[in-house]
């Protein structure tokens, strides 16, 4: 059985074929009538052909407005039998060259209707054709035949046609049945193939790792959802693009010693990600290769944790060193500074000697500042966690900084991006002000010579508040960015390199994350994320892990490169 859409397509096809056949037959018969003497009546023949054209156009319209395909097929078969009978009569009856149209109608009936309708159409064709011949023979209707066979010959012609019609109906029905069975098997096989293809596609799309396939030219032909998520790029932007352009490092290739490699990728949000990429040849059942398959996993978080562990080891070593020697250095340093101060009051000193004593005093003060930062970094810090609003904390810091920049006429402008409503967190407000001031001071130092814009922003990022201080200074290299929170990594003249290390401790005590983003020539940005509190949430003490970390000034945290 055909579906509704198939029946409509078949009926539309039948009407179009009928119009084509009628046009060809009309042209041929008109040529025959004009070129050879014929008793055929021209006007009745043309009238019948026009009537058949009109019926065909009506059926074409009926297909578009009536969904009952079975009844339409019956009407078309019956009307075709009637019109074929009329045309056969007008073109000579037994001498007509158009009686081959009966088998065509029988074949169409077998195609559109059940097999019984094929035999019924053969019977109707025999009855109609025989009726025309009988009426012509007995003169009941006008005869356009040039020959007048005897009754016996006429009966032979009729029964030969009867046999031919039923043979055609049988063979056409058998063939159509076979075709329908083959069509069903083909649809079943096609459905199974589609299901298998959908299963394979679902498997590829459901994989947690990224999968990319390319041709031999390296152009991407397939990318799964995980790859789109990891690369933070849509499928439309990836298809047809060179796979090598997605990564900052060379990809592994077939034939090398290792089929995998760690490569970096610049994500859409400005972060650099690290992927482990593996490559293999893309094979099909037939011998040969179609291209390459790249599978990759995100190692960014693992490498970040590894860097944090290395940083923790360094910070712990520095802390132990500071606790062991800071006091031992500070005591003699205090004695040296006092002695030099007394010597500077002596009247017998020359100008050169006084200048040397001033240098000693100044360097002693600088060394004392370093020891002070050391002690601030290494000794345990006490935190007072409470529910605080980040907006006033940032406003206070930025207001003080703005007055200072105005007084110094530094050429640095401040830009604030702050929410209108409260930004509540569980934190120590004074310690966070220290973090904000340190970031602001670093930004001002970076732009001290050239001026620029310092952008302080506070935005909501999922469950966190994200605070960023971005400058338009010269920027720092990726190697320096990775070590920016380690002690003694200052890029400024006279800096101790402990300010950002202390910031790191403060942020980790708040169970937050801190990282730096920078590009040489395009400025730097320092970012802190703290867990957001709802406006109506009550203040509570921090977790035991936070209290222990705050009391011991531990070194675990969330620095990110």
Q: What count of other Cβ atoms lies within 10 Å of the Cβ of residue 248?
A: 11
Name the pLDDT band for 111 (thresholds 50, 70, 90).
confident
Give percent above pLDDT 90 in the chain: 9
Q: What is the pLDDT of residues 185-230, one digit of tens each?
A: 888 888 887 777 777 777 888 888 889 888 888 898 888 888 888 8
pLDDT of residue 455: 93
Q: What is the pLDDT of residues 429-450, one digit of tens each?
A: 988 998 999 999 888 888 887 8
pLDDT of residue 285: 63
* Chain position carrying tokens 């929170």: 485
Choose from 60-69, 273-282, 481-490 the range with maximum mean pLDDT. 273-282
Q: What is the pLDDT of residues 235-266, one digit of tens each?
A: 888 888 888 888 888 888 877 667 788 888 87
Domain 207-298 -> CATH class: alpha beta
Give percent above pLDDT 70 in the chain: 83
Q: What is the pLDDT of residues 406-432, one digit of tens each?
A: 888 888 899 999 988 888 999 999 889
pLDDT of residue 541: 45
Domain boundaries, the chain: 4-188, 207-298, 311-378, 386-560
DSSP state at residue 494: T
Burial class (CB in 10 A: 0-12, 13-18, 19+), 494: exposed
pLDDT of residue 530: 94
Strand partners, 70: none
Average pLDDT, the chain: 79
Q: What is the pLDDT of residues 12-59, one digit of tens each?
A: 777 777 777 777 777 777 776 666 666 667 778 778 888 877 887 787
| Torsion region of 307: left, alpha or beta (phi above 0 gives left; psi -120 to 50 gives alpha) | alpha
Name the pLDDT band for 344 (thresholds 50, 70, 90).
confident
| Of 163 and 353, more confident | 163
Q: Quick one: how many helices (H) and strands (E) in the chain?
A: 15, 13
How open is the CA angle 505-298-475, to the nearest 5 degrees? 50
**Which one is the CATH code of 386-560: 3.40.50.720, 3.40.1160.10, 3.40.50.620, 3.30.565.10?**
3.30.565.10
Q: What is the mean pLDDT of residues 112-131?
A: 83
pLDDT of residue 468: 93
Relative orientation angle of helices 351-378 and 499-509, to the nearest 10 degrees? 20
- pTM of the entire structure? 0.44
Residue 326 clears pLDDT 80, i.e. is over it: no
């Amino acid at each position: 059985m055909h579906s509704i859409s198939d029946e409509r397509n078949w009926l539309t096809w039948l009407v179009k074929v009928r119009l084509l056949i009628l046009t060809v037959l009309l042209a041929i018969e008109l040529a025959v009538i004009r070129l050879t003497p014929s008793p055929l009546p021209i006007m009745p023949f043309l009238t019948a052909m026009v009537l058949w054209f009109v019926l065909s156009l009506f059926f074409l319209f009926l297909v578009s407005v009536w969904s009952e395909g079975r009844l339409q097929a019956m009407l078309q078969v019956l009307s075709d039998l009637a019109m074929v009978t009329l045309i056969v009569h007008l073109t000579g009856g037994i001498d007509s060259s158009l009686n081959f149209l009966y088998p065509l109608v029988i074949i169409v009936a077998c195609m559109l209707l059940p097999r019984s309708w094929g035999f019924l159409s053969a019977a109707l064709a025999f009855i109609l054709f025989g009726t025309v011949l009988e009426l012509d023979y007995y003169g009941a209707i006008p005869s356009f035949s040039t020959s007048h066979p005897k009754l016996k010959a006429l009966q032979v012609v009729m029964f030969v046609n009867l046999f031919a019609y039923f043979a055609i109906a049988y063979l056409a029905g058998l063939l159509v049945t076979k075709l329908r069975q083959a069509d069903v098997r083909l649809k079943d096989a096609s459905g199974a193939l589609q299901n298998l293809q959908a299963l394979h596609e679902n498997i590829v799309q459901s994989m947690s790792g990224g999968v990319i396939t390319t041709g031999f030219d390296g152009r991407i032909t397939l990318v799964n959802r995980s790859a789109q998520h990891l690369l933070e790029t849509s499928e439309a932007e990836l298809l047809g693009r060179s796979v090598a352009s997605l990564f900052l490092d060379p990809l592994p290739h077939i034939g090398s010693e290792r089929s995998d490699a760690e490569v970096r990728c610049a994500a859409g949000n400005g972060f650099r990600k690290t992927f482990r990429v593996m490559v293999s040849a893309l094979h099909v059942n037939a011998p040969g290769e179609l291209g390459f398959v790249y599978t990759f996993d995100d190692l960014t978080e693992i490498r970040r944790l590894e860097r944090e562990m290395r940083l923790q080891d360094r910070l712990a070593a520095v802390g132990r060193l500071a606790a062991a020697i800071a006091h031992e250095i500070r005591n003699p340093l205090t004695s040296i500074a006092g002695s030099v101060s007394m010597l500077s009051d002596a009247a017998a000193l020359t100008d050169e000697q006084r200048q040397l004593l001033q240098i000693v005093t100044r360097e002693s003060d600088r060394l004392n500042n370093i020891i002070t930062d050391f002690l601030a970094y290494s000794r345990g810090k006490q935190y007072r966690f409470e529910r605080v609003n980040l907006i006033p904390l940032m406003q206070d810091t930025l207001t003080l900084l703005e007055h200072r920049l105005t007084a110094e006429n530094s050429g640095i402008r401040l830009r604030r991006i702050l929410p209108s409503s409260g930004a509540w967190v569980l934190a120590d407000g004074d310690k966070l002000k220290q973090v904000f001031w340190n970031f602001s001071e670093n930004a001002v130092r970076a732009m001290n010579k050239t001026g620029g814009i310092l952008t302080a922003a506070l935005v909501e990022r999922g469950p966190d508040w994200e605070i960023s201080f971005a400058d338009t200074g010269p920027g720092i290299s990726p190697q320096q960015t990775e070590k920016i929170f380690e002690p003694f990594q200052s890029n400024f003249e006279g800096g101790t390199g402990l300010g950002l290390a202390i910031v790191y401790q403060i942020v980790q005590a708040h169970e937050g994350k801190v990282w730096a983003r920078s590009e040489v020539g395009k400025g730097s940005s320092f970012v802190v994320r703290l867990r957001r509190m709802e406006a109506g949430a009550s203040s509570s003490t921090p977790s035991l892990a936070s209290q222990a970390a705050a009391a011991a000034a531990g070194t675990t945290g969330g620095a990110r490169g």
